[in-house]
Amino acid sequence: MQARRAARELALILFSQAQVIENQNKWDFQDIILKSVRTLTNNSTDELNSAAASILEMKEYIEEYESNHPNNLERPIDVSNIPVPIPTTADMQAKLDELLNIAEKTMLAIEIAEMAALEENSDVKKYIIQIANAYKEHRSDIDEQIKKFALGWDINRLVKMDKDILRIAISELLYIKNTPVKVVIDEAVELAKKYSTEDSGAFVNGILGKVVIENNLK
């Protein structure tokens, strides 16, 4: 996994902490990054616990289904059940999809945590600090870009996650400028799809596309 992708995920957690960017200096970010890693891993732990409960529920369902299947009901009580075909239901498919999603997010969280903790001055930490400082120094201009292109939307009423994803991406596009424009936009859209609402990916993509045109970015 690329260090900058990990940095964006952790920056999103960092940005979600009220007033944290405005009130901290660059040295204080080390402690905040550690807290962000812990938040990410704690969330993954909670999701894993939920997933474990779902797996147990599915296991009990399968065992009960097997026991109550006509092929086993006809067998003597003192013999073991034989395997039987089980229908693939929409409900079970949805649960399996949920478990796969949780597994993917957990593996990502572990990978991010490892990258952030490998060394004091890791590329992950450096890039998070770059993003945070860029937003801290240019907050009014960045938020003005969002207001300008989120036509019909009050910036104070935007989904907080969408707003923070846009702030991170615009900080990269306008003030860091060492990542290809397409990569920044694609990563922002992926974050929106992963952590925000169903329509957030398209919304974020639209705003950033206008930022790129407005500022003649290539």
Return d(Cα 81, Cα 195) in angstroms, integer. 43
State the pLDDT at residue 143. 92
State the pLDDT at residue 165. 95
Return d(Cα 128, Cα 136) in angstroms, integer. 12
> Do residues 77 and 118 make contact, with C-beta atoms less than 8 angstroms apart?
no
Return d(Cα 15, Cα 6) in angstroms, integer. 14
Is the CATH number of domain 3-214 3.30.450.20?
no
Return d(Cα 8, Cα 1) in angstroms, integer. 12
pLDDT tens-digit profile of 158-195?
A: 788 899 999 999 999 999 988 899 999 999 999 998 88
Please report where in the chains the tokens 């616990």 appear, as a residue. 49
What's the sign of the alpha-carbon dihedral 158, 145, 32, 103? positive
State the pLDDT at residue 27. 45
Closest CA to 203 of 171, 155, 142: 155
Q: What is the DSSP string of 128-150?
A: HHHHHHHHHHHHHHHHHHHHHHS
Q: pTM surpassing 0.85? A: no
State the pLDDT at residue 10. 78
In the chain, where are the structural domains located?
Answer: 3-214
pLDDT tens-digit profile of 52-68?
A: 777 788 788 888 888 88
Share of the chain above pLDDT 90, in %: 25
State the pLDDT at residue 119. 53
Under the banding of pLDDT at 50, 70 and 90, the label for residue 23 is low
Return d(Cα 175, Cα 173) in angstroms, integer. 6
pLDDT tens-digit profile of 127-162?
A: 888 898 899 899 999 999 999 998 777 666 678 889
Instruction: Give me the mean pLDDT over the 14-21 stretch.
Output: 64
State the pLDDT at residue 110. 67
**What's the mean per-residue pLDDT of the chain?**
80
